[in-house]
């Protein structure tokens, strides 16, 4: 019997800690606790990227569920830091929320330190974990590599002639790329973008040869055949792309990264309001058609309590601190 992987252990912990969508729905708080008017959900990355795709699906259903207008605002830049900082400074009345990620709440604090314009641990109110998502390694169709081993050989044969893109400095795709470079001893430059959407556009156009992206944002392009997917970054294959191998089984043993999306508000939100929003989000991702659409995007729907989201951020911070230290920090260029 194989030992469980780190992702299996963490996912099991998430399941037990959060009560995934198969568990009984959280008790519904009174609608009087909800914000009285429209809600602005800040997505700290460009339109068309993975976080944006998930956010638009969830916000549409959330608006229907709570009978409020919920609008997505894309505010990209700084690896998610610009959008996150706006929410951190907002009035804690529930009208401004953030679709946070592992970048905004874990990787940016670890890599940017005091330069970050907010404090992830104290400037936000956790509301609910929404989904967990794998990352994926992609290449332009002109790249003469049909698998990860061939790509490694190609890059090693032409050092410093290849570059890879990501959704921004310090984002999970960037960290996935740096870990790949470190483990395989590769020489290639990082090209950061203001979100996965612009990065994907340049990959398809051939302006960059390689891209690490979040699988939920890349899924439609993979199916359309506009890019070539080589491997997912999790330790197991994903159900939506069962023929796509993992990095570990493709010649990079021990390699594993993944990401998540979660809703946060500014610090100081009233607990009844937080519980009401958390319960509503839990009910949204529990809807069978929403689950089906999220899984089609290769995202695993969760839905959690605010306290459980706090625990996840803490555990992820410990995990990624170790990974960042193991590769000697992040290249900010």
Confidence of residue 332 (pLDDT cuts 50, 70, 90): low
Q: Say yes or no to pLDDT of 130 above 50.
A: yes
Task: Identify which of 263, 262, 241, 260 has the alpha carbon closest to the alpha carbon of residue 299.
Answer: 260
13 vs 245, residue with greater confidence: 245
Proportion of the chain above pLDDT 70, given as a percent: 90
Say whether pLDDT at 239 is over 90.
no
* 59 burial level (CB within 10 Å; 0-12, 13-18, 19+): buried
Q: What is the pLDDT of residue 60?
A: 92
Cβ pair 249, 145 in contact under 8 A: no
The average pLDDT across 58-62 equals 94
Residue-level pLDDT at 19: 46
Query: Above 70 in pLDDT, residue 30?
Result: no
Q: Which of the 8 DSSP states describes residue 143?
A: S
What Rg value do the Cα atoms of the chain yield, rounded?
19
Tell me what percent of the residues of the chain surpass a pLDDT of 90: 67
Residue labelled with tokens 């990401």: 259
CA distances from 320 to 74, 183, 327 (A): 26, 16, 11
Rounded Cα distance between 106 and 314, Å, is 8
Integer Cα distance of 204 and 147 in angstroms: 18
Average per-residue pLDDT for the chain: 88
Q: What pLDDT is stored for residue 289 in this prediction?
A: 93
Mean pLDDT of 13-20: 46
Whether pLDDT at 22 is above 60: no
Could you give the CA distance from residue 255 to residue 246 in angstroms, rounded to a whole number? Answer: 9
Query: For residue 3, is pLDDT > 70?
Result: no
pTM for the whole thing?
0.76
What whole-number distance in Å separates Cα of residue 305 and Cα of residue 123? Answer: 18
Top-confidence residue, 196 or 333: 196
Q: Name the token pair of 284.
A: 């949204």
Higher pLDDT, 159 or 23: 159
Burial 102-111 (b: 16+ CB within 10 A, else e): bbbbbbbbbb
pLDDT tens-digit series, residues 199-230: 999 999 999 999 999 898 899 999 999 999 99
pLDDT above 80: residue 158: yes
Q: Which pLDDT band holds residue 4 (cuts at 50, 70, 90)?
A: very low
Out of 63-67, 82-86, 226-230, least confident range: 63-67
Tell me the pLDDT tens digit for each residue of 255-283: 988 889 999 999 999 999 999 999 999 99
Tokens of 119: 């404090």
């Amino acid at each position: 019997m194989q030992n469980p992987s780190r992702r299996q252990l963490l996912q099991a912990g998430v399941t037990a800690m959060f009560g995934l969508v198969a568990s009984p729905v959280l008790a519904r708080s009174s609608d009087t606790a909800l914000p009285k008017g429209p809600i602005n959900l800040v997505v700290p990355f460009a339109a068309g990227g993975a976080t944006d795709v998930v956010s638009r699906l969830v916000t549409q259903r959330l608006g229907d569920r709570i009978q409020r207008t919920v609008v997505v605002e894309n505010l990209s830049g700084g690896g998610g830091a610009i959008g996150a900082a706006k929410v951190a400074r907002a009035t804690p009345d529930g009208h401004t929320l953030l679709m946070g990620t592992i970048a905004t709440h874990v990787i940016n604090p670890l890599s940017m330190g005091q330069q970050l314009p907010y404090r992830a641990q104290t400037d936000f109110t956790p509301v609910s974990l929404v989904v967990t998502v794998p990352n994926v390694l992609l290449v332009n169709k002109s790249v003469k590599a049909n698998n990860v081993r061939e790509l490694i050989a190609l890059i090693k044969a032409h050092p410093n002639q290849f570059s890879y893109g990501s959704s921004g400095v310090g984002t999970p795709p960037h960290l996935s790329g740096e870990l790949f470079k470190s483990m395989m001893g590769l020489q290639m430059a990082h090209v950061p973008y203001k979100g996965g959407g612009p990065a994907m556009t340049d990959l398809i156009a051939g302006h960059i040869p390689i891209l690490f992206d979040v699988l939920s944002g890349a899924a439609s392009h993979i199916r359309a055949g506009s890019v070539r997917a080589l491997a997912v970054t999790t330790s197991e294959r994903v159900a939506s792309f069962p023929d796509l191998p993992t990095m570990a089984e493709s010649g990079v043993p021990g390699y594993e990264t993944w990401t998540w999306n979660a809703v946060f508000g500014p610090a100081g939100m009233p607990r009844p309001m937080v519980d009401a929003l958390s319960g509503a989000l839990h009910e949204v991702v529990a809807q069978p058609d929403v689950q089906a659409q999220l899984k089609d995007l290769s995202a695993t729907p969760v839905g959690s309590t605010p306290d459980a989201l706090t625990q996840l951020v803490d555990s992820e911070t410990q995990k990624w601190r170790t990974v960042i230290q193991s590769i000697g920090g992040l290249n900010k260029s």
